[in-house]
Amino acid sequence: MSPRPKKTRKCETSFIGHAYKPTGTPLSELKQIELHRDELEALRLCDGDGLTQEEAGVRMGVSRGTIQRILTVARKKTARSLAEGYAIIFVDDEM
């Protein structure tokens, strides 16, 4: 039995650059955390634009539960990166 295929996630966000990192240290010397396009979109919609998870789910074409899972992962990655000085590498999966 194979898992269900991932539902296409609508993302309006465009990456500005390919990484976000602490100043003063070359990217090659930093630990890196990947942030996927759908994770950035969920952060933008819920935390940046103030949409509810339900509203963000409608905009992205997925369920509220999926948005909640995406946000949990994205927030953990972002917090770890900021607290520990990791670079955030933007990944475009074309979901």
Is 57 domain-assigned? yes
Is 14 domain-assigned? no
**In percent, how much of the chain has pLDDT > 90?**
76
Domain that residue 47 falls in: 37-91
Is 69 domain-assigned? yes
The predicted pLDDT at position 7 comes to: 66
pLDDT tens sequence across 78-90: 999 999 999 999 9
Distance between CA atoms of 67 and 64, rounded to whole angstroms?
5
Q: What does the block give as tokens for 85? A: 């000085």
pLDDT tens sequence across 13-40: 766 678 999 999 999 999 999 999 999 9
Q: Within a 10 A sphere around the Cβ of 35, how many other Cβ atoms? A: 21
Task: Please determine, for residue 95, whether its predicted confidence score (pLDDT) is greater than 50.
Answer: no
Is 41 domain-assigned? yes
Is 74 domain-assigned? yes
Q: What does the block give as tokens for 57? A: 């789910």
Number of folded domains in the chain?
A: 1
Is 80 domain-assigned? yes
Is 81 domain-assigned? yes
Is 27 domain-assigned? no
Instruction: Report the Cα–Cα distance between both ends of the chain, in Å, rounded.
Output: 22
Distance between CA atoms of 11 and 81, rounded to whole angstroms?
23
